[in-house]
Amino acid sequence: MKYINAEAVFPKRLLDELQQYVQGDWIYIPAMKGARKAWGERSGSREALRLRNEEIRLAYTRGRSIEQLSSQFGLAYDTVKKIIYSKS
């Protein structure tokens, strides 16, 4: 989050109105709904984890044990178990 001077952004009329409520303090203006991306969407991490989890579920249905998958993917036994039994 960076500091932006309100005089550089808001029209005079709006700035005058805002100063009726806040003067000389910091104010946070949140992003519009839908403007933010969820964790990992920008970097691709979310998709990479989805694909990994899908691969783990598929391997489990083909007979791999939770212990084998835990070792193969470098995950804790309980983490693999959660992935396998989760709905998505």
pLDDT tens sequence across 18-48: 999 999 898 888 888 877 788 888 899 999 9
Q: Say how many CA atoms lie within 13 Å of 29 toward its Cβ.
A: 11
φ and ψ at residue 65, rounded to 5 degrees: -85, 165
The pLDDT-based confidence of 1 (bands split at 50, 70, 90) is low
- For the segment 76-87, the average pLDDT, to the nearest whole number, is 95
pTM, two decimal places: 0.60
pLDDT tens sequence across 40-62: 888 999 999 999 999 999 999 99
For the beta carbon of residue 80, count every other beta carbon within 10 angstroms: 25
Question: Which two three-digit tokens encode residue 71?
Answer: 């070792």
Q: For residue 41, what pLDDT is reported? A: 85
